Amino acid sequence: MKHNAMKTFDAISIGLVFLGMAGAYGGSVVFAYEEAMVTDGGTLTGKVILDGPVPEPRIFPLALYPFGPYCEKNKAISDGQGNVRISEFSIGSDRGMKDVVVAVLGVKKGRSFKPVITNLVARDCQFLPFVSIVQNHGTFSMNNEDPIVHNAQLYQSEKGNLLLTEPNMPHSIKTFPFKFGKNKKIYQMICGMHEFMQTWGYVVDNPYYALTDGDGKFTIDELPPGEYEVIAWRPHFKPIEQEITVSGHQTVSLSFAFDAGTVIRPNYETQEQFRIQR
């Protein structure tokens, strides 16, 4: 009976979990992070900028999608001419870029690692937030606040595979477990009914991470002394890595610059012109 129960659990997990997203495990051995008091930690601070002109918004004619009149009411995305315009780059003062994940890689021991709670919302035909931090073996919730149906389709963006399709009925909340594939870090979620509804996530395995604010700034503190690789990642760019050395009670400043001319989009998202001509 116990064996059958375990088989059932595994089958459910395989069917629902986000295979291939990310995490570091081999076989049944999960990456081990050890919590310990940090008395001489340093601080990593800095800024991420966009170098070059802000990429043009992507345009989606609402005539191609169901419930267009409802989505058009959202003035944050509608141009009032029957189109949704998605500007995925929020640039603040001095070219600072919002929604960049900055993470210190390979930290195996340090401050308390509180569970990462990942909650996404479908609101007025938008998935929010645009970028999330996620954790292996955690949970993911999708709250559809709209009075219309959406459909969450999860892609492992490092391979382009469709991993999950789940209908989101009006005013409903669903929760799913996480079990990421080995060494996979990035996922993308797209609404199967509204292509312009998109959100992204990046996987962390230690508490030393940050999301840049509206001016592209970030701070990571209580970092144990040592040498580290620091990664900056944002949707549509290749990650940037830099090496740092942190000494006790030291503040290290680090800057990242993404080149606007190197924006990368999967082939299925490439858009040179409107999808329909008028």
pLDDT in tens, 33-57: 999 999 999 999 999 999 999 998 8
For 145, list phi and psi in degrees, rounded to 5: -85, -5
Question: Which SS3 state, helix, strand or coil, does residue 62 take?
Answer: helix
For residue 192 the two structure tokens come to 């199967």
Q: Name, in order, each residue with C-beta under 8 angstroms of 215's C-beta and a sequence gap of 6 or more.
A: 47, 92, 93, 94, 96, 98
Q: For the domain with range 1-26+115-199, which CATH number is right: 2.40.50.140, 2.10.260.10, 2.40.430.10, 2.60.40.420?
A: 2.60.40.420
The one-digit pLDDT tens for each residue of the chain (278 residues) are 445 444 443 433 333 333 333 333 333 334 589 999 999 999 999 999 999 999 988 899 999 999 999 999 999 999 999 999 998 999 998 999 999 999 999 999 999 999 888 899 999 999 999 999 998 777 889 999 999 999 998 887 666 677 778 899 999 999 877 667 777 888 888 999 999 999 999 999 999 999 999 999 999 999 999 999 999 999 999 999 999 999 999 999 999 999 999 998 765 555 555 444 33
How would you list the strands of the sheet with 126-128, edge to edge? 126-128, 118-123, 139-144, 172-177
Please answer whether residues 134 and 246 qualify as being in contact, where contact means their C-beta atoms are separated by less than 8 angstroms. Answer: no
Superfamily of domain 31-54+90-113+206-265: Carboxypeptidase-like, regulatory domain (2.60.40.1120)
* 177, β-bridge pairs: 139
Going by C-alpha positions, the residue among 190, 220, 225 that lies closest to residue 103 is 220
pLDDT of residue 119: 93
- The span from the CA of 105 to the CA of 242, in Å, is 10
Q: Is 31 within 8 Å of 23 (Cβ atoms)?
A: yes
Tell me the three state secondary structure of residue 50: strand
Contacts of 75 (CB under 8 A, 6+ apart): none
Q: How many CA atoms lie within 13 A of 250 on its CB side?
A: 12
Residue 257 Cα distances to 52, 93, 191, angstroms:
10, 14, 30
Model pTM greater than 0.95?
no
Residue with the two structure tokens 């375990």:
6
Evaluate whether 56 touches 265 at the Cβ level (below 8 Å). Answer: no
CA distance 267 to 278: 24
Token pair, residue 5, equals: 């129960």
Bridge-based pairing of strands 42-51 and 251-259 is parallel
Domains 1-26+115-199 and 31-54+90-113+206-265 in one fold? yes
* Residue ranges per structural domain of the chain: 1-26+115-199, 31-54+90-113+206-265
